[in-house]
Structure formats: C-alpha cells, structure tokens
Structure 1
Amino acid sequence: MSTPHLAWYSHEICFWHDPGSGSGYVPVGPGIEPLRQFAVDPDLRRAEGLVKASGVQDRFTCVTPTPATDEDLLLVHTPEHIERVEATSAIGSGDAGVYAHVNYHSAQAARLAVGACVQAATSVLEGRFDRAYCLVRPPGHHAEPDRAMALCLYNNVAVAARAAQRHGARRVLILDWDVHHGNGIQRTFYEDPDVLYISLHQDGLFPAASGLVTETGAGAGAGSTLNVPLPAGSGHDAYLAAVDRLVEPAARAFRPDLILVAAGVDASGHDPMGRMMCTSRTFHAMTSTLCRLADELTRGRIVFAHEGGYSAWYQPTLVLGTAAAIAGLPAPQDPFLHSLDHLPGQRLQRHQDRVITHLETHHPLLSRTASDVPSAALSDAPSATPSAAPSPGGGR
C-alpha cells in the first residue's frame, strides 16, 4: 500500500487525570504514607514529548479530540455508571468504582479518552486516515458496563468498537496486549459473534481468575474470545510467537473490517505492575505485524489506543517504539535495552510454548478448518449498513 495517512489523537486534559496519592491502589489512611502513584499521568506527557523530539510525530496529523457524548458512552455503559463517574469527579476525589480513584478533571479526561478512540475509529472507516494512535488517559479495558475498575473509568476501546459497528463495520477485531486481562472488553463482547477479542496477558495477574484459556465466548459469540495467558517472565520471543501463531491465523479466519489494539506497554521488563520482559523492540515488532495484517485484511484500517504503562523512565521509549512502527520507521534507539535483551527469558521457553500450542489445537477459531468457518466470517466485503445498536452493557 502507499504511504499511510496517520493520525495522532491526544489532549492536554488527559494528562490532568490523577488517581491521587496513596500507596499503589490503596488510599492514604492509618499506617499508609502518601506515595507517588504508579499511574501519574504527567509521565504520559513525557512520552508524547519524546515522540515529538524524535521527529516521529511529524509523520502524523495531530488531532484534538472532542469529549464523548452520552450517546457514545451508552453504547457500552449504563446510565448509573456514567452518573457515578461524573458525580465522584465533581466533588474532587473519591473512588468511582473498584480501585478507580478520580480527581476533579477525571470525568472530562475520561470522556476525551473515549472521544479520541471513537473519532479515530470512525475516521479510519471513512478513509480520512489509514492508521491512528490515541495517547490518552485514563485507560479503559478493565471498565465494565456497570462499574469503573482498576484505574479505568470508561472502556475506551469497547465504546470505539460499538461506535464502529454503528458506523458500518460488520466485524471488529480487538487485540489487547496490556499485561493485565481486559475483563471489561471481554464482558462487553462475550456473546457478540461480530467482535473478536484477543488478549495477551500475564497469567493470573489481574483480575484474579480472569482471562483463562477456557473463556472462549458464549451463545452466538462462542469462539469469539481468545485468551492467551502467558506465564510470568515471558519476553520478546514468547509475545512474537503468540502474535505469529495465534493472532494472525485467528484474524485471517475472522476477516475483520477494522482492527483496534489496546496497546498497553506495561508488559515491559521495567514495569512495576507486571512481571513480563518485553522491550521497545517487542512493541515495535508487534505493532509492525498488526499494521501489515491490517493492510492485508482491512484495507489498512487500524487504531491503537494506549492502555497501561507505569514505568516513569521506560514508558516514553515504549510509546516511541509503538509510534515508530505505526509510521513504518525502524525501531528507535533504546538506552534501556541492554538491561533486558540479554536475559534468557527473552527466548521462547518450553512452558510458554505449551500455552501457545494448546490454543493452536484447542481454541474453536483455530482448531477448525477454514471450511468450518461460517461464510459471514470469511467475507471480505464490509457492510454498508450499520449493525443494530446493542443494548447498554452487552452480555456475558
């Protein structure tokens, strides 16, 4: 394909969201001294600054998003949930759900994060851009239809997928490589045959007992969820093997009209919120592969949305690696690579390979032959008519 037209979505107010002082997720209280949070969002401003300083952002058209409307949010979330987020933010602080602390700016930042993802998805469907990157906060993949959870207020990518369906996309593939399992995305689409959700995450990390290999969808959506719970300590080769042997064949069987990537960078070897070993080279390679897959399957239409990432010093380099790959540029210099790349865990280990091999042979979408895939899932042609609007909250 010709040089892709790229969009970069970000907003200053997204950097003003702050989950507040505490120790990890725990608010200040008896015996708990205030501590710098892992998820302080000025770190994301530093990431954008590095992308600008490197010249990579010059390859993108910068777009300032507008806040998501209630109509957008109600594609996934209940009215009570939206009201709770708005009310908690309005009083200046509090927990809007489960480990979902907010400040005065959080409700506006959350609407801007959703708005960026919705506008990016509709823009690539309309052909205004081929690829887009949304550097937004707060993250979204833990937010469920009826509650905020684990720093996530609204489910940015899930709302974008529903908006894409409303805009005419029949089938949407969501790949989530955040180190935690995206329970909110899974819950929203668990019975939807037109959204394939694939999650690469650390086995047993968060939420507890979520993202098991046996969770493959239900009802009409049976086979439309693919969980890849990689063992702690998985690194570069394990992630690339999962993309090559699971994500790519699943995507080709599903034939999406649009690809959305929940592009967290907290699976890095320096992240305090996980125990994986990815480097900027890993994210550059995965992003490059997904862009090539989009060129093959969706006429290039792909949107990346930032999710988790909590290493103050390494997150900027990881975001730069992702952005460079979207722009078709080589992997950037990584001053931290030497501390991770030589470790034995960067090579694919036998116990990691067992997870991938099991899914290759047992997951419904991968184990059946191409002739077994329903004809609707093999069609190349995008639908001209939007799908019917789903009820708020989807189903499980």
Structure 2
Amino acid sequence: MNEVGYVYDPLYLEHRSLGHPESPERLEAIMERLISSGLLEALVSVPPKDATSAHLEMVHSWELVAQIRAKADEGGGWLDPDTYVGSTSFAVALRAVGGCLAALEGTMTGQIKKAFCLIRPPGHHATPNKAMGFCMFNNVAITAKVALSEWGVNKVAIVDFDVHHGNGTQETFYSDPQVLFFSTHQYPFYPGTGYWAEIGEGEGRGTTINVPLPRGCRTQEYLRVYEEVCLPALYRFQPDLILVSAGFDAHFADPLANMLMSTRGYYQLASLLVRAAEELCGGRIIFALEGGYDLTALSWSVQACLEAMLGLPFTPDPLGESPAVPGPDIEVVLGAIKRTHGL
C-alpha cells in the first residue's frame, strides 16, 4: 500500500478576486512543483467530494452558511475587508471541506495512512459564526468534528503552524476535552488572539496550547518549540488522529509576515509530526493547506512536507537557509507555557 495520499481538484482554482494574495496561482505553483519533481507519482490521488450543509453546521451556524451561499448566488462580494466571495466560491468551499473529509475517510478505512489536502480557500480563521481572514468554512475543525462523530475517534490533536493564530479553530474547541489545539504564531499579529494564557475553559481547560512568538523567529526557534512543547503535549494527550493546519507564511520569503523559517525547517517540522503520528496513532495524520503567499517558498515547502511524509530525504530549494541573523529571546514565553501546562 502506498500510504500517502493527496487531495486536489481543479475546482479549487475557481475562487478568485483580482490582486488578492490568496489566489489560484498558489495551488498552480504547488502542482507544477510536485509534477516537475516527480513526487506526485509517489502519491495516491484521493478524489474530493462535496461537504453537505450538515457537515458545515457541525461547526458553523446555519446563518453563516446561508450568508455565504446567498452572497455567491448574488454574484459575489466582500464579507469583510479581507474575505471575498465570488459566484463560484460557495461551491469551491464545499469541495475544500469535502476534500478533507475524503482524506479522513481514506485514513480511517486504511486506504492511506497520511494525506495532504491541497485545498483552498483556507479555513482556520473561520469561527462558528463568522467568515474572516480569507476563510469561509473551517476545513480542519469540521474534519475533527466528523472524525469524532462518524468515525469512532475519541481524541483529535490539531497542530497549527500557520504564521497567524487559528482563532476559529480555537473558538470551536475551547471547551472540548476531546480536541487538543496547539498553535505557533507570530504575536502580536493578525487576528490578535493566541496569547499563551488562552488555555481553554471548562472541561477543555488545558487542551488549548498557544505559543505566541515574536517576529524574527528562525527555524531554530520553531524546532525548539515543537520539540520542547508540542511533542510532549501530543504524547501526553495520546490522540487517535492528528490534523495539521499547514500554513507556510512563517517562511522568511513570505510577504505577509515577519518570521524566518526555511523550507528545510518545514521538512524538519513535518518529520517531527509524522514520527509522532506513527508512534501515537498508527500514522494517521492529515495536513490541510492554510496560508503561504510567496509562490516559490510555498511550493517548495509543500514538497518538503510531502518528502517528510514519504520518508524521503530533503531536496534543497532555491531559496536556501534562513538568514544568518540572531534570533529573538523566547525563554520567557516558553517558560510560562511549560509552567502553565505542566510540560
């Protein structure tokens, strides 16, 4: 069995707004890279389906679903200054969620063990009641809900390494003890949430772990956080499935943020998560594309993650290593997080 699947559909290219950074060219660049590298041939194609309204409403209010459907039916418009809906966007968003659900089905039935969902629009900013930050529906959050309700999964871990905090995912599971949400993100930064003291509430207290990082963090800082905080948290939580909100906008080449991760760093980070999945949950791990807006950095970083998932060596990319500059001091924030969460 070839154990790594990928989800892609040409429909994902049909959501667009002229000049918007979250563009179809992002997926086109990724697919061109995977084809030219030959990596695509090593993967199992997982055909996406369309999510249903019932799937969406596991996370989102019917009012939000109706609002986005109506906006598309009207020919499109802006939901907020960042988030555009075109005439085809509702259909694209349904298939983006459905792509993640197809990957979930593949992993739970044993067709594949791991998957990368090459989807758009992204989802981690979408809250139960609001679309925002380029996101309409929360692909990963809905996938977690379906895993828990339809596939007999008891615990899901969500790891979000996008440079922006996944506020929508956090809000969805803030009081849910069955879902561990772990996020690294630039802070202070959009959307303004994700302080380390945000740890969940009620029965979910302690199952939200935020690592707010100052601008300028390099691969070294990221790997330290994942080795010292994320991995111990995962091993303590013992998930049955790991979902990854895979945004690549912490790359030093990304135009929308101020971090200094490298493509090799994403390979190393993905390798850590894949190894954890192998040891904790039978290898079941699903990556879903979130952000990443430099086409070269994005396409090579996705390739690097897939190489890690396949157990292949890293292919050096044309952008090279992180700039050779001193990194920021993260001792205080790491210490606070470790004390708060007993790690």
Deviations 1:157-179 (A, max 9, x none): 00000000011110000000000
Which among 127, 134, 146 is matched to residue 117 of structure 2?
Answer: 134
Spell out structure 1 runs of 4+ moving beyond 4 A. Answer: none
- Residue 12 of structure 2 corresponds to 14
Identical pairs, percent: 36
TM-superposed CA distance for 1:147, in Å, is 1.2
Number of residues paired by the alignment? 342
Aligned partner letter, 1:279: S
What is the deviation of 1:52? 1.5
The Cα of 1:156 is off from its aligned counterpart by 0.2
**One-letter identity of the residue aligned with 1:300:** G
Counterpart in the other structure of 1:354: 332
What is the letter of the counterpart of residue 73 of structure 1?
L
* RMSD over equivalenced CA pairs, Å: 1.4
Distance 2:179 2:5 in 1: 24
Residues 57-72 of structure 1: matches in 2 within 5 Å? 57-72=40-55
What residue in structure 2 maps to residue 388 of structure 1? none
Q: What is the aligned partner in structure 2 of residue 205 from structure 1? A: 189
Gaps of 5+ in 2: none
Q: Tell me which amino acid in the other structure corresponds to 1:361.
A: R
Do 1:96 and 1:153's aligned partners in 2 also have CA atoms closer than 8 Å?
no
User: 1:169 is matched with which residue: 127, 150, 153?
Assistant: 153
Distance 2:332 2:91 in 1: 44
Counterpart-to-counterpart distance in 2, 1:123 and 1:215: 34
Deviations 1:46-77 (A, max 9, x none): 11110121011111111220111111111101
Kindly indicate whether residue 169 of structure 2 is the aligned counterpart of residue 185 of structure 1. yes
Q: Secondary structure at the match of 1:148?
A: coil
Contact 1:131 1:302 in 2 (8 A): yes
Instruction: For structure 1, list consecutive stretches of 5 or more residues without a partner in the other structure.
Output: 22-35, 368-396
1:5 is the counterpart of 2:15:
no
Contact 1:84 1:96 in 2 (8 A): no
SS in 1 for 2:195: coil
Question: Secondary structure in 2 aligned to 1:144?
Answer: coil
Deviation, 1:342, is: 4.0
| Separation of aligned partners in 2, 1:353 and 1:315 | 29
SS in 2 for 1:145: coil
Which of 304, 319, 334 does residue 287 from structure 2 map onto?
304
Query: Which residues in structure 2 correspond to 1:143-292 (within 5 Å)?
Result: 143-166=126-149, 167-208=151-192, 210-292=193-275
Q: Is the 8 A contact 1:173 1:260 kept in 2?
A: yes
Say if 1:4 and 1:239 are closer, same or farther in 2 by CA, change over 3 A.
farther
Residue in structure 2 matching 1:344, options 311, 321, 325:
325
Larger Rg: 1
Which residue pairs with 1:384 in the alignment? none
Query: Contact between 2:292 and 2:298, CA under 8 Å: does it hold in 1?
Result: yes
2: CA distance, partners of 1:108 / 1:79: 16
User: Partners in 1 of 2:231 and 2:283 — Cα distance?
Assistant: 15
Please state how far the C-alpha of 1:312 moved relative to its aligned partner. 2.7
- Shift of residue 334, structure 1, vs aligned partner: 0.6
Other structure's SS at 1:173 match:
strand
**Mapped contact 2:46–2:103 kept (Cα < 8 A):** no
Where 2:49 maps in the other structure, the secondary structure is coil
Q: TM-score, normalised by structure 2?
A: 0.96
Change (3 A) 1:121 1:52: same
Contact map agreement 1:216 1:224 (CA 8 A) in 2? yes
Please, which of 95, 102, 117 is the counterpart of residue 112 of structure 1? 95
**Secondary structure of the corresponding residue to residue 48 of structure 2:** coil
Per-residue Cα deviation, 1:336-355 (whole angstroms, up to 9, x for no partner): 11xx534224xx54x12332
The whole-number CA distance in structure 1 between the counterparts of 2:323 and 2:186 is 21
**Structure 1 CA distance, aligned partners of 2:220 and 2:157?**
23
Cα distance in 2 for residues equivalent to 1:206 and 1:96:
17
8 A Cα contact 2:2 2:44, kept in partner: no
- Comparing 38-47 with 224-233, which one deviates more in the overlay? 38-47
Q: Equivalent residue of 1:163, what SS? A: helix
Partner SS, residue 172 of structure 2: helix
- 1:98 deviates by 5.9
